[in-house]
């Protein structure tokens, strides 16, 4: 299966290309922004006509939350219209589309917090980034049925996120070397997720035609504070982590206080391959420190 990966140099895209290259069932065509600009419909259509991929996986997104809030036009151009363009271009050549969405499409006001949001819970995006990503979901669903919309969250992986200056794990490890005390938010709870295992889960999906919306995160939940404590425990670093509220920390853009996802559809289908976030984090920290 020939799989074109749009956004191949990013945090998820690079790990996905590696996983595809290591699996003989797939042939990976990596496409960076210069090769595939999701805001250019005609360019995408021409590219896919030439490549004739069986599937397209797009990790391309404008996901800096603060920047999206300052420039919502850019957020909707990339995250909403970009998704529309990908769906139109894939439909023309008959390629399935796998597109990544976010836990932020949920409002965080879930009353029963004994389990995470499933694919069948109502959404409630609360900032420009979240609204633009949900608009992208709606475009894809309305244009091309042969799609996977993969909602994921709180990613950490080998290449980090360039727009955010790394990921939370590498940021904590760096700051832990520079400071003895850190303030970390403890009232936002989500699903820390390894990009390496996410990439392997994507390969499971690509082997099927069980199209639709799925959640793909590591199991369990944590606050940013919980995650920081576990990072420093695994790294054996003596850092005092002080819990603070979102208001005390001073985040200007609203974020959901509870955005834990449950891989409900994957579990129902017997396709859930995601480990616990603790196991995935231990493996990643060990790799980073080696």
CA distance 116 to 259: 7
CA distance 180 to 216: 35
For residues 69-105, b (16+ Cβ closer than 10 Å) or e, as one string?
eeebeebbebbbbbbbbbbbbbbebebbbbbbbbbbb
Confirm whether 129 is a catalytic residue: yes
Instruction: For residue 104, give the H/E element and its range.
Output: none
Q: Which of 104, 117, 129, 264 is catalytic?
A: 129
Which segments within 54-168 are labelled E, that is strand?
55-58, 96-102, 147-152, 155-156
User: Quick one: tokens of 223?
Assistant: 């606050």
Which segments within the chain are labelled E, that is strand?
2-6, 27-31, 55-58, 96-102, 147-152, 155-156, 181-185, 189-190, 193-194, 212-215, 222-223, 240-244
Asked whether 247 and 180 are in contact (CB, 8 A), the reply is no
Asked whether 262 and 115 are in contact (CB, 8 A), the reply is yes
By annotation, the residues acting in catalysis are 129
């Amino acid at each position: 299966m020939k799989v074109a990966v749009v956004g191949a140099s990013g945090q998820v895209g690079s790990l996905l290309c590696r996983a595809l290259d290591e699996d003989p069932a797939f042939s990976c065509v990596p496409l960076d922004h210069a090769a595939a600009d999701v805001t250019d419909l005609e360019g995408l259509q021409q590219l896919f006509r030439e490549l004739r991929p069986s599937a397209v996986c797009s990790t391309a997104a404008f996901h800096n939350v603060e920047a999206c809030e300052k420039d919502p036009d850019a957020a909707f151009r990339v995250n909403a219209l970009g998704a529309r363009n990908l769906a139109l271009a894939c439909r023309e050549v008959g390629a399935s589309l796998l597109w990544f969405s976010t836990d932020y499409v949920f409002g965080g006001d879930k009353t029963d917090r004994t389990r995470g949001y499933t694919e069948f819970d109502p959404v409630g995006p609360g900032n420009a980034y979240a609204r633009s990503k949900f608009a992208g979901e709606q475009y894809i669903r309305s244009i091309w049925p042969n799609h996977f919309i993969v909602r994921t969250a709180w990613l950490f992986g080998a290449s980090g996120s360039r727009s955010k200056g790394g990921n939370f794990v590498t940021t904590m490890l760096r700051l832990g070397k520079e400071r003895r005390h850190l303030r970390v938010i403890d009232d936002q709870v989500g699903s820390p997720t390894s990009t390496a295992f996410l990439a392997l889960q994507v390969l499971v999906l690509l082997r099927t035609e069980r199209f639709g919306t799925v959640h793909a995160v590591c199991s369990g939940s944590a606050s940013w504070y919980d995650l920081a404590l576990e990072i420093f425990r695994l790294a054996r670093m003596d850092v005092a982590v002080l819990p603070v509220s979102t208001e005390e920390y001073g985040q200007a853009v609203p974020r959901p206080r509870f955005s834990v996802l449950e891989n409900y559809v994957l579990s129902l289908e017997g396709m859930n391959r995601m480990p616990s976030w603790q196991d995935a984090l231990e493996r990643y920290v060990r790799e980073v420190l080696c």
